[in-house]
């Protein structure tokens, strides 16, 4: 897969150098960018101080316009995917459901957001059935094509339509990792896909402590 991100800052160059991009069924991951302390208590990638991925404004599957300010006091996990994704998306959402279970009472202080990169097919009605099926508190966010392009650019997230074998069919290549904001609304972590729930639970507890 050709790397297609633009270069906006030195920190992003470090992140871009370690991104592995591929088809949805070939896992895409993000990596280290921070040049802060050489060691971190986090098990996932510490991206504290990023100069992008600062906020968003997009309707949820209930039609309510959402921004980070709506979730002040909670850790927010942001994942970009689509409902017809065959593996990375459902496995990520199932993993986050397991995280919520393991957090116990602290799960009330975590908000998971699923932002679709396929607004052509992922309507609010579809997201309202798909996303909460993993956990009732999870929210799906969907905008039009322009809004999707803007939020993906703001978060340096890659996505691209890949034509299928049948006319009109397609899949979406996309970045598979998730961003995590702390309860004060600051970007703190990039979570790679497929690590299991334990490292995420560990890091969320640190952010919530």
Q: Where are the domains of the chain?
A: 10-208
| Residue 205, pLDDT score | 97
Give the per-residue pLDDT at 34.
Answer: 40
Q: Is 135 annotated as a binding-site member? A: no
CATH of domain 10-208: 3.40.30.10
Please name every residue paired with 190 in a beta bridge, in sequence order, or none if there are none.
45, 179
Tens of pLDDT, residue by residue over 140-166, are 999 999 999 999 999 999 999 999 888
Residues of the chain with pLDDT under 50: 1-23, 25-38
The CA distance from 174 to 25, in Å, is: 10
Question: What is the spatial distance between Cα 114 and Cα 89, in angstroms, rounded to a whole number?
Answer: 9
| Cβ–Cβ under 8 Å, residues 30 and 194 | no
Residue 24 annotated as lining a ligand binding site: no
Q: What is the pTM of this model?
A: 0.82
Q: Which of 36, 71, 91, 78 is nearest to 190 (CA)?
A: 78
Is 8 labelled as part of a ligand binding site? no
For residues 183 and 208, the answer to whether their CB atoms sit within 8 Å is yes
- So what's the pLDDT on residue 24? 53
Q: Residue 39's pLDDT is what?
A: 55
| pLDDT the model gives residue 40 | 76
Could you tell me which of 20, 57, 36 has the C-alpha nearest to residue 155? Answer: 57
């Amino acid at each position: 897969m050709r790397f297609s991100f633009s270069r906006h800052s030195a920190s992003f160059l470090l992140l871009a150098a370690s991104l592995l991009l591929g088809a949805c069924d070939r896992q895409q991951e993000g990596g280290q960018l921070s040049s802060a302390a050489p060691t971190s208590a986090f098990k996932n990638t510490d991206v504290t101080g990023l100069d992008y991925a600062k906020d968003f404004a997009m309707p949820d599957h209930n039609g309510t316009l959402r921004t980070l300010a709506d979730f002040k006091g909670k850790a927010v996990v942001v994942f970009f995917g689509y409902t017809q994704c065959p593996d990375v998306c459902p496995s990520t959402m199932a993993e986050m459901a397991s995280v919520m279970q393991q957090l116990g009472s602290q799960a009330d202080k975590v908000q998971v957001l699923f932002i679709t990169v396929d607004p052509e097919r992922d309507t609010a009605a579809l997201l309202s059935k798909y996303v909460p099926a993993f956990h009732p508190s999870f929210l799906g966010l969907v905008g039009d094509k322009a809004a999707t392009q803007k939020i993906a650019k703001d978060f340096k997230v890659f996505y691209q339509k890949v034509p299928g074998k049948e006319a009109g069919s397609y899949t979406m290549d996309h970045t598979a990792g998730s961003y995590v904001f702390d309860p004060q609304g600051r970007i703190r972590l990039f979570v790679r896909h497929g690590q299991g729930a334990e490292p995420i639970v560990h890091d969320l507890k640190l952010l919530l402590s």
